[in-house]
Amino acid sequence: MSTVDKMLVKGIRSFSPENKHVITFFKPLTLIVGPNGAGKTTIIECLKLSCTGELPPNSRSGHSFIHDPKVAGETETKGQIKLRFKTAAGKDVVCIRSFQLTQKASKMEFKAIESVLQTINPHTGEKVCLSYRCADMDREIPALMGVSKAILDNFGILSPSYTKALEAIKKLHKEQAQEIKTYKLKLENLQTLKDAAYKLRENIAQDQEKSEFLKAQIKELERNIEGIENKILHAETTLKELRKLQDQISTRTTARSTLYKLQQTQYAALAEENEDTDEELKEWQMKFEERIALLETKISKLEREMNDEETKSSLLLQTINDTTREIGKLQAEADAHMSLRHERDSTIQRIFTKYNLGSLPDAPFSNDVALNLTNRTKTRLLDVEKELQDKKKSNEMELKFLWERYVMANARCSEVESQKQAKSETKLGISKRMKEKSNERDLADRELSNLNLSHIDERERSFVRTVPCFLQIEVERKTLLLGEKDYEATISQKRTEMFSLDQKIKALYREKDILASDSEDRVKLDMKKEEFESCKRKQKKLQNGRIQRKNQRSLKKEYDDLNSKTLEAEKEVKLVQMKIQDAKSHILKLQKDVDAKRRFLDSKLQALIQPPADIGSFTKVLLEAMEKKDVQKSKYNIADGMRQMFDPFERVARAHHICPCCERPFSPEEEDEFVKKQRVKSASSAEHMKLLAVESSNADTHFHQLDKLRMIYEEYVKLGKEAIPLAEKNLKELTEDLSQKSQAFDDLIGVLAHVKTEKDAVEVLLQPVETIDRLWQEMENLKPQIEDLEYKLDSRGQGVRSMEEIQLQLNSLQSKRESLSADVENLREEQKFLNADLSSIQMRWHALREEKLKASSILHKVKKADEDLVLLAEENAQVDLDEKHLAEALVPLIKEKEKLLQDHANLKLKLEREYDEQAESKRSFQQDIEMLMTLSSRIKEYLDSKKVEKLKDMQEKHTLFESQLQKCETKKQEISADLNKSKELLRNQDQLKRNIDDNLNYRKTKAEVDELTSEIESLEEKVLNIGSMSSLEADLKRHLQEKERLLSELNRCHGTLSVYQSNISKYKLDLKQAQYNDIDRRYFNHLIQLKTTEMANKDLDRYYSALDKALMRFHTMKMEEINMIIKELWQQTYRGQDIDYISIHSDSEGAGTRSYSYRVLMQTGDAELEMRGRCSAGQKVLASLIIRLALAETFCLNCGILALDEPTTNLDGPNAESLAAALLRIMEDRKGQENFQLIVITHDERFAQLIGQRQHAEKYYRVTKDEL
């Protein structure tokens, strides 16, 4: 049985994210009372969200469910709901859901940041997390609580899904039918695969049989081909040999023909056929060869000599040409050297003239003189570069000085601006605080206006008139009375007395048996005792009496008048005291302001002036600072004017080489000395100006800081001389008024005390003193007589009491015991009554006290807010004044900063222009010197290369080479004549040698022709022996055709065999595929599955039909039960006479379906009418509540949570009371159910009192805005 125990809410809707609100759900009733908008419904929404995970309707996807960040003044708020409940198994589980709402730039973003379901391990006591995901929690919580999600969605409204089983069966039937279709398709596919596998196995067997036949045929063909190949090989060998012989014959025949033609040609070419023998011809051939060899050797020697002379001649000619070119080149360089020397001399003259470097010797210059002059120009260039660097440093110092002044001014300006910004921010903060205080005061005023102060005072006064003292005194009196009476001790004492009385009664019974008496003494004793008791009663009566006199009334009236006057005088005194307190606080505030301003001025003066000056000398210090500022400014202007003369003087001296003052021409040394002195003075003046600028800036800053304090000083003087004396005067007047009123008040107090004393004295004198004294004397006389009689009776041993006295005492003791017993009971009742009376008075006193304290606190808030507003207004005025001073001080600082920045820019432009001019002059001078150095280096390079001596040597060599060339030409002519003679002799000897060679060649060719003829005849004989070529070729062709036929047949068999083998491999590979694995077993298994599934589906059809009929009967039975409960609740609750009862009618929406259309009908007599459109709003609310209760009574046995939110909406008083009675009956009926919990939310106090009885709810929750 599941129940909910506690729930923590934080940051949800109106519940603050800073505070945790915990609600404990009681059994059987949890009552939540509060006004509209206090957050009651939020509690039910949080409970529903914790269990189901569903956000409330119209929460805009959670944006309006979480506490708004804008209300909290944050960009992000977090909400958390923590629910602790017991599962159906009685196990404690905690559900935690956390959310976050973030304010983006243009929208809100809602996010669930944590969802945790925790329980406690019973063995270890540690927390165990069951789930973290929202979807898991939304499924787990209904399962843990043992209910469906529909119950949790409505918290007690149950619409059970009896058709879920039918839907599941129908869904399962549909799935099974789909599976049957799938099984049939798979079975058809398996049948196809099974047939394909059988066909593949049959094809493999057929192809293997054909392959074996082809293999035998291939072996027979291979044997036949081998025999044919042997025959072809023999025929080819014979043909090859025959062709070789024919080729040899053909080759030799061709060679013979060629040699024969050569023989004929040689014979025709013979000039003369020599008849000598071959040996003789060879001998003549050798002699001619030796002679020719000698001639050739001589000719080659002469040709070599001729070539050597030609080579030598060409070399000499080349050398002469090279020498001529080198001489021309050296001559041109000599001419260029002379030109460079002339250009160098003119450059030196121009530089010395342009830059005033002194006098020059006459041109042309020697190399030493030119070198000396060049060094002088270089020295001058170094001086110019040094001057340029000095000028650059001076310019940088001046710019740095001006920039430092600008930075200081900018820093002062930034400081003032930051102070002004701080004052503005302070002003905004003060304005915001003033607005908050004003809002706080207005809120307090509204709260004060809502409170009826006159009604509270009237209630207090009326209560004072009714009761002799204030409520507080009455409470204290009742408490004191209850403590004084000490009922427990009294009851215990009376019980002790009852015990002692029992003992005395027993003793009296014993005394009664042995008692003997003297009647006379006893009669006297009785009379004396009676007389004594009579006197005692009279005395008591006189003491308890009250005497009303006319004087007593007049004194009481006079006392009341004086008392009222005294109260009025006391009020006036208190009023004057309040005014004096206000005046003192005002003076104290003024004194604090004066002290604060004095401390501020003292601290500023101590920081600004050394040695520190008194605040009274502030005016004198301000005048001195102003004078010092003017003096420093004047000194700086004078120094600046002097510094501005140095640069023009230097430029005039450098440009015109004269003195700027007297216009006297300067020599180079005088000009350098003058410029040097000017630069030294400029540098020293720059340092001096820098010091003067710092001093002037410090003086200016000092003056401005003192000037800012001037307004504060004036306010300080005004407060000390005007405001404080005026306030002290007002205080003095109020003090005098107070003394007068206090004197009058003291007089009234004295008169009042005197009247009271007289009143008390009169009351005392009114008592009957004489009668009391007389009765007292009589009682004193009777006491000894009674004692004597008692002693006398005791001495006789008979006792002092008679039998009747003993009996009377016995009766009195018994009655006393009975009265004591009754007193004990009365004391208990009285104690109970006093406790109840004390509780009632305490409640009334606390209520009145809370109202007065609330009004007092609101008045204190208003007064405090007014005081804070006055202080903030004064502080705001002070901040405005400071901001104004800062703005006034900022204007001259900005102007000074802008002026310094402009001066820095102008000086920078001026110095850059001067520096650029000087740098340009230096660059021109440097270029001239570089040109001179270039010319000098080229001249020096020419001289160092010694090309003058080289030119003379080359001219001498050129003459020598020309003489050698003439000798070579003469020798060439001699060698040429000798060479021509030797060549002519060689041509004559060569003709004779060729004739001998031709005869020898002719004879050799003729011998070779005869040898070839004999070899041809031998080869022709071998061909005839072998046979005919055509017959051999015919046999070979026939063998080859047979071989081709056999090979074709063999290839055809091999191809057919490979096809069969590839088919077998392919079929085997196909059989190895996964689809054919265990195809027969798979086909059989699928067939079994198909048949069993079809049988199961038929069983589901039968089960579906039976369950459908049972559910229809269950629906009819439950509807009858619900309508019976609705009728009973309606007749018990509804107080009208127009509707007897209501019921729910269900109509089926279509044949064969389980969908129903539900209607609520009202029964009036014999007529049935639909409630829709025919009943009032209150009847609708009552009908919905009764239907909900009936559904809960019928279906919510496992889930005992029933939540009602504002159940009395639109209900009149009687119907609300009837509803309360019905809920009480339900709680009474289900009080034995452990998990029953009724949660009621209402703002109807009467309804809450009706259902919130002590036996059902000892406490309840009262909800206010952001408070539980």
Residues annotated as binding site for Zn(2+)?
659, 662
Closest to 438 in 3D by CA, of 862, 27, 54: 862
Got the DSSP string for 424-478? HHHHHHHHHHHHHHHHHHHHHHHHHHHS-HHHHHHHHHHHHHHSSS-HHHHHHHH
| Contacts for 1228-1232: CB closer than 8 Å, 24+ residues apart | 1230/28, 1230/1200, 1231/28
Q: Give the number of other Cβ atoms within 10 Å of residue 648's Cβ.
A: 11
Separation between Cα atoms, residue 1032 and residue 190, nearest integer Å:
70
590 three-class SS: helix
Helix, strand, coil share of the chain (percent; to 5): 75, 10, 15
Q: Could you tell me the end-to-end alpha-carbon distance of the chain, in angstroms, rounded to an integer?
A: 29
Paired tokens of 503 = 């003992």
Integer-rounded Cα radius of gyration of the chain: 73
Calpha distance 885→709 (Å, rounded): 9
Angle, alpha carbons 928-929-932 (nearest 5°): 90
Which residue, chain included where needed, has tokens 């973003």? Answer: 109
Asked if 19 contacts 93 with a C-beta cutoff of 8 angstroms, the reply is no
Tell me the CA distances in angstroms from 503 to 507, 798, 1111, one per residue in order. Answer: 6, 21, 82
Alpha-carbon distance of 1206 to 571, in angstroms, equals: 51
Measured between alpha carbons, how far is 65 from 110 in angstroms, rounded to an integer?
A: 10
Q: Are strands 76-86 and 92-103 parallel, antiparallel or unpaired?
A: antiparallel
Q: Note the residue count of the chain.
A: 1268
SS3 labels along 41-110: HHHHHHHHHHHHCCCCCCCCCCCCCECCHHHHCCCEEEEEEEEEEECCCCCEEEEEEEEEEEECCCCEEE
CA distances from 1207 to 57, 1126, 1178, 1262 (A): 19, 16, 10, 17
Evaluate whether 955 touches 334 at the Cβ level (below 8 Å): no
**Angle, alpha carbons 75-78-84 (nearest 5°):** 175
What token pair was written down for 103?
């304010």
Judge contact between 1230 and 1236, C-beta under 8 A: yes
- Compute the distance between CA of residue 26 and CA of residue 1257 in angstroms, rounded to an integer: 8
| Nearest C-alpha neighbor of 310 from the set 972, 924, 786 | 972
Taking residue 802's Cβ as centre, other Cβ atoms within 10 Å add up to: 21
Which one-letter amino acid corresponds to residue 790? E
Helices (H), 1073-1231: 1079-1133, 1177-1195, 1213-1229
Classify the C-alpha dihedral 59-62-66-71 as positive or negative: negative
Distance CA 301, CA 308 (A): 11
Q: Give yes or no for a contact between 1205 and 155, defined as CB atoms under 8 angstroms apart.
A: no
The 3-class SS string of 867-904 reads HHHHHHHHHHHHHHHHHHHHHHHHHHHHHHHHHHHHHH
